[in-house]
Structure 1
Amino acid sequence: MITLMMLLAGILSPDAGYDQVSAAPVQPTAVVQTAQYASSTPDQGIRIATAVAEPSVSDAVYEDHQHTYSTLNGVSLEDSKADLLHKLGKPAEIAQTQAGYTEYRYDDLTVGLMDDGLIYYISVPVKAGAVELDGQHIALNKQEITRALGKPQFTADDGEGYNNDFYAFKVFTDPDTGHIVSADIFDVWSQ
């Protein structure tokens, strides 16, 4: 298959007389800047192609992304139920939601767990006054959130937020008053 692809790309000619092709894997987002070819000698019967890959612009943009939106007030969406209990101890209350999640409720934090014990969402009520999002302290008011994170990337009837294709940070608001109710992070693929 690799040989066919190299033939189609014009890297090899059909009459090259090679026995083996060696190619280093290239990341799909990489841009090939230079290529070097070693010609074969009759006794070697080998033609080697190597490529030097440079990171693409899209790689740089992703690496420069300021937030992962995966940790809120010290709890990560990647934590397990055991990690949560180790970090915060026994919750003040454990409740089942109408949506079928188990919520571990602490004084200023609610963690929603799926049946398999994985964390689906983490919610901080407005009464907490502030959140720590990925290590950054942010007061729970619209001006401070916008100052820290920029203009929201999405809006909905019940709030606005930011996402990075995997996790989202959303500020939930009361639809009637517009006042902040809570700030949550959640896995966008689990919705």
Structure 2
Amino acid sequence: MNRRWACVLLSSSLLLMGSQYTPVVSHSPAAEPPVAAVHAVGTVPDLPGSEQPIPEQPKEEVRDKHSLVTVNGISLADTRSDVIAKLGVPLEISRDPLIPELELYHYAGLEVTFSGEHVHDLAVPAEEGSLLLDGTSVAITPEAIREALGDPDYVAEDGLVYQRDFRLLKVYLNVDEGRIAVIRYYSLSNT
């Protein structure tokens, strides 16, 4: 990888992660008692002052907040009829110019692509301002996406990827303009 692309990837990831990004520092497992032992006894065992109260549990990880089952109410398991029942008749229907087997349903602020009868992927332009992740509204800003999804699982040359099982949400970045361009939701099998 040349130096220019490395700088692009780094600046892209920092753009989305925001300036408050701090690396995770791992602790030696030997220095801390097993969590199960703390819960079973109610105090920290075998340590001086073991009559301390149970330590506060770590907050649920950010990545567990959203499993990416739906984006804007659409699931990757939905069929054409499911999508029409949820969103109504599309404003326009077209074919993908590069892959004619894919059919695109254009809605206001959303594009749903079908392969056969099932959802192949969907795209939400950044101009929409927000999207629904598993029913929760999330602003299409680097800070809001990082707060909702945590750190990206992958950094690609054109954006950041969040993966939950086989479901992927990719935040495409326009590095030249320093902003998010579009968010695409798709299955790992469609890569």
> Into which bin does the TM-score normalised by the smaller protein fall?
0.5 to 0.7
Structure (1 or 2) with the greater helix fraction: 2
- Where does residue 103 of structure 1 map in the other structure? 104
Q: What is the rounded CA distance, in whole Å, between the counterparts of 1:72 and 1:120 in structure 2?
A: 13
Deviation at 1:175, TM superposition (A): 4.4
Give the CA deviation at 1:70.
2.6
| Aligned 8 A contact 1:157 1:175 in 2 | no
Q: Residue 124 of structure 2 contacts residue 182 of structure 2 at CA under 8 Å; is this kept in 1?
A: yes
Larger Rg: 1
SS of equivalent residue, structure 2 residue 83: helix
Higher strand share: 1
User: 1 or 2 for the larger relative contact order (CA 8 Å, sep ≥6)?
Assistant: 2
- CA drift of 1:152 comes to 1.0
Deviation at 1:130, TM superposition (A): 0.3
What is the TM-score with the length of structure 2 in the denominator?
Answer: 0.62
- Asked whether the equivalents of residues 169 and 184 of structure 1 are also in contact (C-alpha less than 8 Å), the reply is yes
Paired residue type of 1:102: E
Deviations 1:23-42 (A, max 9, x none): xxxxxxxxxxxxxxxxxxxx
* C-alpha distance in 1 between matches for 2:104 and 2:158: 20
Let me know the Cα RMSD of the aligned residues: 1.8
For residue 147 of structure 1, report the CA deviation from its aligned partner. Answer: 1.2
* Alignment partner of 1:118 is 2:106: no
Q: What is the number of equivalent residue pairs in this alignment?
A: 128
Provide Cα deviations, 1:10-68, integer angstroms capped at 9, x if missing partner: xxxxxxxxxxxxxxxxxxxxxxxxxxxxxxxxxxxxxxxxxxxxxxxxxxx9xx94322
Any conservation in 1 of the 2:161–2:170 contact (CA below 8 Å)? yes
Unaligned runs of 5+ in 2: 1-59
- Residue in 2 that maps onto 1:174: 174
Q: TM-score, normalised by structure 1?
A: 0.62
CA distance in 2, matches of 1:84, 1:187: 17
Task: Specify the SS of the correspondent of 2:138.
Answer: strand
The residue that corresponds to 1:33 in the other structure is none
Aligned residue identity for 1:135? G
Aligned pairs (5 A) from 1:36-185: 65-97=64-96, 98-100=98-100, 101-114=102-115, 116-185=116-185
Tell me if structure 2 keeps the 8 A contact 1:70–1:185: no
Distance 1:148 1:67 in 2: 7
- The residue identity in structure 2 corresponding to 1:154 is Y
Which secondary structure does the structure 1 equivalent of 2:144 belong to?
helix
Residues 178 and 158 of structure 1, relative CA distance in 2, 3 Å threshold: farther
1:5-44 to 2 correspondence within 5 Å? none
